[in-house]
Amino acid sequence: MPSFSGTQLTCLRGDRLVFSHLSFSLDSGEALILTGRNGSGKTSLLRLMAGLARPWQGDLRFNGQAIAEDMELHRQRLRYVGHAEAIKPVLTASENLAVWAHLADAGRSDAGRLGAVDPAARAHAALDWFGIGHLADVPCQVLSAGQRRRVGLARLLVTPAPLWLLDEPTTALDRTAVGLLNQVIADHRARGGLVVLSTHADWPIPNGIALSLDDFAGLGPIVVDGDDDEAGANDAPGEVGTDHDGAGGAPPQAQARVDPEHRP
């Protein structure tokens, strides 16, 4: 039974503390719902979980084993759906999915078993599931934002993996598609899979564990001359909240609002 946990995670972007002392634990079939204002580090946390970035402090464990020990294994057991759908406009929807399916198969030791079903057929089945089977052979440049999103989400079904990391998956989706996504997530959890997702929308996930990143907010740049920012950065999360209202004053709060998703 898979389990996924993180302890005392601290995320640093440039010289800015995004969040600190964040811990979570997920067991088989559970879903973690990340909320928080813009720039609170939802995407950063998901990228840490995917192994795309490394935490400044703390560690992430899957089944008790640190993910940094065997990144190749960790990559095989996760599916990440980010803000960008990783769709090439000149390829058709099924070609886009087949590329990722082929690559995932090539990296697996049990490729023979999965390869029994042709990746192209699997791609068609996944697109059918999300209600866009009729668009499978249309170049993606003519698809709408919502349809592209569905293609991106169909990647979850093409090659199974126990851990799903979804970054605001409902963006651009209509009501029907959100219903389908709910169903997919429920099925995945019923099979014992793990889901971590971030959302702004008021989106009910049954028995989801809520985690608000605002509770772990850092206080802007930690290296600032003659300020009490550094003290705030090293504080326990519970105290950070009071710090906001108390000694910190306006400047550190304003700095903490800088968007961490911004990349140069």
Residues found near another protein in the complex (CB under 8 A): 47, 50-54, 72, 75-76, 78, 80, 82-88, 90-91, 95, 99-100, 102-108, 263-264
User: What would you report as the CA-atom Rg of the chain, rounded to the nearest whole angstrom?
Assistant: 20
Between CA 190 and CA 226 the distance in angstroms is: 53
Q: Which is nearer to another protein, 34 or 240 (CB)?
A: 34
Q: Give min distance, CB of 226 to another protein, in A.
A: 30
The nearer residue to another protein, 105 or 243, going by C-beta atoms, is: 105
Q: In the bound complex, what is the minimum distance in angstroms from residue 123's beta carbon to another protein?
A: 14
Query: 1, 74, 73, 49: which is closest to 196 by C-alpha?
Result: 49
DSSP 191-202: TT-EEEEE-SS-
Record the tokens describing residue 149, joined without a space: 């999103």
- Beta carbon of residue 56, minimum distance to another protein (angstroms, whole number): 11
As measured in angstroms, the least distance from the Cβ of 159 to another protein is 9
CB of 108 or CB of 244, closer to another protein: 108
Q: Are strands 208-212 and 31-35 parallel, antiparallel or unpaired?
A: parallel
Which residue, 198 or 243, has its beta carbon nearer to another protein? 198
Q: How far is the CB of 85 from another protein (least distance, A)?
A: 6
- Nearer to another protein by Cβ, of 39 and 119: the residue is 119
- Burial class of residue 161 (count of CB atoms within 10 Å of its CB; 0-12, 13-18, 19+): middle
Q: Are 219 and 17 in contact (CB under 8 A)?
A: yes
